[in-house]
Chains A and B, each alone.
Chain A
Amino acid sequence: MNTKFLFIKMILAVNLLSGLAMSSHAKLNVVATTSDFGAIAREIGDDLVQVNVLAKPTEDPHFVDPKPSYIVKLAKADILIEGGAELEMGWLPPLIDGSRNAKIELGKPGRVLCAEGLALLEVPATLDRSKGDIHALGNPHFMTDPINACHAAERICDAFSALDQEHSATYRQRLDAFNKHLDEKLVAWKKQLEPFQGKRLVAYHNSWPYFANRFGVKIDLFLEPKPGIPPTPAHLAEVITTMKRENILIIIVEPYQNMKTAETVSGKTGATVLEFTQYPGGVQGTEGGYIELIDYLVNTLATALSKERSAEEHKP
């Protein structure tokens, strides 16, 4: 046998074997755009995946800086998990283009669009910039509803299973455990907020229609005059008038929103400002994961509404 060919065959065999060995033990490299998807990916993937989250949980997810280092993370990714409802459209496309990673192209198993298959709320009939920064596919903050989180977890599990078939039973088992835990918690959360059905709250930005629908509260008055447009004195005056007239005493503010504006409104209405977040890690006490996040939101809101009710009852 020709020695040269034998040598080449040996090198190829060693490369193939080392490749197989690596693929059988290597963790799936997962990149999530926001920490809610990242938290669920860790629940499902646990020790079988390495998860990187691009947006900080404390920053505005509409305006993440497309840093060059993110391109490197995406270039190495096996899976990209995003909302798929245009929340990340201002910064994700150039990063994906720059990564030149075929594994995370649209339509590939490595690209997970969590909103796919969901009926999003507030889909605009017409697109018009005079309405502010609205999204053509509907309100993109769908993960504040735990039922939608189950849907996202399902999609993430499907992607993990498709790319790592050897462990698909493990992923499915973890998905079932996550869903079971979430179902149990959902019953408790709904019970906790049951006494406050129909209660109206103020939010800084229109991030909470899914949360409001699921838990029966009304969050339809905002400090922003239009989505993405900073509060104006004239608009805040209208909000204050409405709050006084309807006795609305809760204002929801997220970590990246202007607390001073909310405190000004609070000072004129006597309302309580609640620190809310859509993302695990955005507020202290939510670092544990998605279920801990909703736990925090429901507990914080229920406590504030109970205090408000108690104060009303003890009014002379």
Chain B
Amino acid sequence: MYGHATTSRAIKGMGDFLYVPRIASSFDLTDLQTLVLGASAAVGPNDTGNEARTLIYGLDTFWKWKSSHAEGGWPFVTWQTEILARDFEAGVDETAGLPSETLHDWGLYSQVQWGFMHPWSAGLRGEYVTGNTSSSAEANEERATTTRVSPNVTWYPSEFSKIRLQYNHDWREYAQNADAVWLQLEFMLGAHAAHKF
């Protein structure tokens, strides 16, 4: 993993479990606007050494405005941002000549979605991720700084399905810039599920 050899670890105690705490609170800024603030983390062992652990932690925010005369949930505007960091303790790998080290990465995304006309919405998402320099060339390549911008447009044929067209442009540190187009189809089967906030 990231150039470091892995080892098989058995569960010996509470420290070998994965813990994922999450706390969030919401505030109604006005009758039409709600803000949710949250913090989350995940901590547990990784397989690069008998004592190696990984810690992921982050903060997030979600803001939503919905019209007082909303039809089918439209029109609306949402803005979601999350910043995450990771400390990955990589164990020593004598065969590869890699010392014990901590790989530190962080990144964030921010996206705005505008439900401009029932049943259409348009969105823009930006992402950025980067990390410190490792002794492992493989780790440096896999964790290279990347920036992505993704505009998208979504059509909801019914309450139970959506079709999204998304374009991605990536700026990458150790590779050529990349362009991609995604077409996503999502549909729901079975009973009417509850709507998400």
Give me the interface of A with B, judged by CB distance under 8 Å: 56, 58-60, 62-63, 65-69, 86, 89-91, 93-94, 129, 132-133, 228-230, 255-258
Q: Say which residue of B118, B159, B192, B197 sits within 8 Å of A65 (CB atoms).
A: B197
CB distance from A229 to the nearest CB of B (A): 6
CB distance from B154 to the nearest CB of A (A): 14
Task: Say which one of B61-69, B133-141, B176-184 lies at the interface with A.
Answer: B61-69
- Which A residue sits closest to B194, measured CB to CB? A94
Q: Can you list 30 A-B pairs with a CB-CB distance of less than 8 A?
A: A56-B31, A59-B66, A59-B69, A59-B70, A60-B72, A63-B72, A63-B73, A65-B66, A66-B194, A67-B26, A67-B28, A67-B34, A68-B25, A68-B26, A68-B34, A86-B192, A89-B194, A90-B192, A90-B194, A90-B195, A91-B195, A129-B158, A133-B158, A133-B159, A229-B158, A230-B118, A230-B119, A256-B69, A256-B71, A257-B71
Residues of B21-74 whose CB lies within 8 A of A: 25-26, 28, 31, 34, 36, 64, 66-73
Give me the interface of B with A, judged by CB distance under 8 Å: 25-26, 28, 31, 34, 36, 64, 66-73, 118-119, 158-160, 192, 194-197
Structural contact, B158 and A91, CB atoms closer than 8 A? no
Structural contact, B158 and A65, CB atoms closer than 8 A? no
- Which A residue sits closest to B27, measured CB to CB? A69
- Inside 8 A of A67's CB, which chain B residues have their CB? 26, 28, 34, 197
- Inside 8 A of A63's CB, which chain B residues have their CB? 70-73, 195
CB distance from B159 to the nearest CB of A (A): 6
CB distance from A63 to the nearest CB of B (A): 4
CB distance from B115 to the nearest CB of A (A): 11
- Which A residue sits closest to B32, measured CB to CB? A56
Q: Say which residue of B31, B71, B197 sits within 8 Å of A258 (CB atoms).
A: B71
A67 vs B73: C-alpha distance in the bound complex, in angstroms? 13
A228 vs B73: C-alpha distance in the bound complex, in angstroms? 11
- Which B residue sits closest to A86, measured CB to CB? B192
Residue of B26, B69, B196 with most partner-chain A CB within 10 A? B69
Structural contact, A65 and B64, CB atoms closer than 8 A? yes
- Inside 8 A of A69's CB, which chain B residues have their CB? 26, 28, 34
- Which A residue sits closest to B24, measured CB to CB? A68
- Which B residue sits closest to A93, measured CB to CB? B194
Structural contact, B68 and A58, CB atoms closer than 8 A? yes
CB distance from B36 to the nearest CB of A (A): 7
A65 vs B66: C-alpha distance in the bound complex, in angstroms? 9
- Inside 8 A of B71's CB, which chain A residues have their CB? 60, 63, 256-258
A257 vs B64: C-alpha distance in the bound complex, in angstroms? 21
- Which B residue sits closest to A69, measured CB to CB? B28
Q: Say which residue of B25, B69, B119, B160 sits within 8 Å of A58 (CB atoms).
A: B69
- Inside 8 A of B26's CB, which chain A residues have their CB? 67-69
- Inside 8 A of B28's CB, which chain A residues have their CB? 67, 69
CB distance from B181 to the nearest CB of A (A): 26
A56 vs B67: C-alpha distance in the bound complex, in angstroms? 10
CB distance from A264 to the nearest CB of B (A): 14
- Inside 8 A of B70's CB, which chain A residues have their CB? 59-60, 63, 256
